[in-house]
Structure 1
Amino acid sequence: MTQLLSGSRVGLPCGKGRLALLLALTSLTLILTPDFALAHNVTEGDKGYIQEISGPNLIPFLYLGAKHMVTGYDHILFLAGVIFFLYRRRDIGIYVSLFAIGHSTTMLLGVMFDWKVNAYFIDMIIGLSVVYKALDNLGAFQRWFGFQPDTRAATLIFGFFHGLGLATKLLDYNIAPNGLLANLLAFNVGVEIGQLLALSAILIAMGYWRRTAGFWRHAYTANVVMMSLGFMLAGYQLAGLLLA
């Protein structure tokens, strides 16, 4: 289960000055990389391809789904937060499955039933999902409110929003109705394959990091950075919502 951080257990090894510098460099990186805030977007080349084809095209849509997941920074950030303190395979499997169920359900239903939801609003919630998970890892809810939210339910619910975020983008590209269900299922399988690839890379990196003496010293800083990235992503989308 997720272990909670407290000020007495995990400090800021780098000092306030170094942490501030780290966050400043992270902010600058995001400013210079606008695609980060558009993690759900489909590239122009893929957009043109989607609009031109008709009928079942399983392999291309499977590839597009895997590509989306591997390059979806918001998904990867949330997934990294979810498994940050999970050690047992059973727990990892449960949480990743809940996220996949939520993500798959709203992506498929959103496109099939043409759900019209403001993309900026959905992507803002997705950014806040990263903030939530970082705060959960930091033990903020117990310290602030005296209770621990149901982490499994939260993972499933935020999975719904992540899937709906993708559905809003796919709807913009007017996928041909001929073969729509088959193509969406292939796309979803691709998303899950991409998720497994991303998860494997995260677990390998986390496995090496956890065996070092510095893991607990730097865990607090890592989650603060994750929270900051989530706020930046949510703030970008909020600005778009207000200006749209």
Structure 2
Amino acid sequence: MQDFIFYLKLGWEHIISLDALDHQLFVLVVIAAYTIKDWRKILILVTAFTIGHSITLALSIVNIIKLPSNWIEFLIPLTIVLTALGNIVMKNKKQTQNKTNYYLVLFFGLIHGLGFANTARVMIAKSQSIAVPLLGFNIGLELGQIVIVILILVLLFILLNLFKINKKDWILFVSSGVFALALKMTLERIP
């Protein structure tokens, strides 16, 4: 049980810590086009990301998938750039019904999962089963993402309802800001 709690905390910190800006930006831009009424769709998106993250993390730990870390560090912000760009291009369309978002987020989760793989590979002893660490880590990750989603949705609710901010302006503002930050990160990490 101690191992499970250890990895649960590790997953939580992986998304909540100040070092997790790329992860937080990704969650922000993924849900930027949604509102609190879309909470089920958002939960599915966040879970799709965690599933993708889990798959490549597991495959990487058992050495089935291995990519150079400089390419992974480049691809992670690139996924954020592409997601933000998608929001900007699609801001006038009803994104909340776009089923390709689920597949795209799942695919991008696969890439993000590789980012933590080297650390996880070192932490999980060869004799140790990967089931408990992966389960704990991914539940912690999912809980952290849900907390971030709730904070973003509360902020969005306040902006839309109290300050009467236009939703399309919100999408454009958030997506443009995230696009700029992620593009800078991407360019700095070109292999």
TM bin (shorter chain)? 0.7 to 0.9
How far did 1:185 drift? 2.2
Partners of 1:203 and 1:82 lie apart in 2 by: 12
Tell whether the 8 Å contact from 2:16 to 2:144 is kept in structure 1 after alignment. Answer: yes
Relative to the length of structure 1, the TM-score reads 0.65
Which residue number corresponds to residue 164 of structure 2? Answer: 213
Partners of 1:174 and 1:64 lie apart in 2 by: 11
Partners of 1:187 and 1:97 lie apart in 2 by: 14
Which residue number corresponds to residue 182 of structure 2? Answer: 230
Partners of 1:237 and 1:180 lie apart in 2 by: 33
Which residue number corresponds to residue 204 of structure 1? Answer: 154
Counterpart of 1:73, as a letter, is L
Which residue number corresponds to residue 13 of structure 2? Answer: 67
SS in 2 for 1:235: helix
How far did 1:218 drift? 4.9
- Show structure 1 runs of 5+ residues with no match: 1-54, 143-147
How far did 1:210 drift? 2.3
Deviations 1:201-238 (A, max 9, x none): 22222221222223444542332111011111112221
Counterpart of 2:21, as a letter, is Y
Within a 5 Å distance, the mapping from 1:162-177 to structure 2 comes to: 162-171=112-121, 173=122, 175-177=124-126
Tell whether the 8 Å contact from 1:69 to 1:75 is kept in structure 2 after alignment. Answer: yes
Deviations 1:54-75 (A, max 9, x none): x972211211111111122111
Tell whether the 8 Å contact from 1:56 to 1:183 is kept in structure 2 after alignment. Answer: no
- Give the counterpart of 1:158 among 98, 101, 108: 108
The answer to which structure has the higher helix fraction is: 2
Check 1:220–1:114 CA distance in 2 against 1; reply closer, same or farther (3 A cut).
same
How far did 1:169 drift? 3.3
- Show structure 2 runs of 5+ residues with no match: 93-97
Counterpart of 2:180, as a letter, is S
Alignment pair present for 1:123 and 2:73: yes
Tell whether the 8 Å contact from 2:61 to 2:120 is kept in structure 1 after alignment. Answer: yes
- Larger relative CO (CA 8 A, sep 6+): 1 or 2? 2
Check 1:223–1:141 CA distance in 2 against 1; reply closer, same or farther (3 A cut).
closer
Check 1:141–1:196 CA distance in 2 against 1; reply closer, same or farther (3 A cut).
closer
How far did 1:138 drift? 0.8
Larger radius of gyration: 1
RMSD of aligned Cα (Å): 2.5
Percent identity over the alignment is: 28
Which residue number corresponds to residue 32 of structure 2? Answer: 84
Partners of 1:194 and 1:221 lie apart in 2 by: 24
Stretch of structure 1 that moved more, 76-85 or 149-158: 149-158
How far did 1:179 drift? 2.5
Stretch of structure 1 that moved more, 197-206 or 224-233: 197-206
- Give the counterpart of 2:127 among 162, 175, 178: 178
